[in-house]
Amino acid sequence: MPKGQQTARIARKSQISHTNGTSPFPVTHHAGRLPVTGISFDPSSQGQQPNHSFIHAPRPGPPDSPKAMSGLLFGIVPAGQPLVTEPASSPSPTSFLYTLPTAARPFSHIVVFLLPGVALPENSAAAIYLSTARDVQSGAAPNFRFLGAIGPGKESAVFKVSSADGDLVIGVEVESADAVAPRLQEIAAAKSAAPTPASSSPPSTAVLAQRIIQNAFNFLTSFSGSAGPGGVEVVPLKAFEDWWRKFESRIRADPSFLEKQPSE
């Protein structure tokens, strides 16, 4: 699709079959290219479980499979990197692999979106998967982790990734919306169930006042002495002035130091 403007065309019926095992077929490698063995994505993949096989032998698809797509369909922008629209390979008519180099500038987020003028087939969605180039090129069936999906009503999405393991591979497969929806619900449920750090509220005025008094008391006790016939304990006014000067200096250097101070 020149310049990403041509509307996506439906060429022919294609398969989206799924497997939980590894591929019985060897992966053929070519210098500088990703393997192009027939592939598809496991529908049971979850964002929390990156342990599903991606490559398997193609089989005739069911009559209601999403149809083949042609031309440039998707854009991927790693944070701080140029736009990527050309897939490194298209292992099946509805599957696309994009290699994202990380050596020049590491990144932690990517944006995936439909190019202008592209419309997915009715009742379908583009499922987004993540793996590493090292895993894909290893010769074994690589594991792809389901990140999410885009489609009608949500033409773009931002995903958090880790580029610490080298170049990344983003897999995009056009699947039926009914197959993608349960996995999106699983990710949403996992996020809502994840524990959130307890928010720490700032100490109250009474607590801050108590800490100021405690700070002054600790400083002034070293200057106390007795005076008068009854031996009344007193503190020189100069000692209080010294404390106040040091207290003000510390407040200027760190206005929140009293909030960090543990209560006694």
Per domain, the residue ranges of the chain are: 74-193, 201-225+233-263
* 103 Cβ contact partners less than 8 Å away, ≥ 6 residues apart: 166, 167
Q: How far apart are the first and last CA of the chain?
A: 69
pTM, full prediction = 0.52
Which is nearest to 84 in space by CA: 93, 97, 94, 95?
97
Distance CA 186, CA 47 (A): 8
Judging by DSSP bridges, how do beta strands 89-92 and 95-100 pair with one another? Answer: antiparallel
d(CA 133, CA 165): 9
- For residue range 132-186, what is the model confidence (pLDDT) as tens digits? 888 777 766 778 899 999 998 889 999 998 877 788 999 999 999 999 999 999 9
More confident residue, 236 or 61: 236
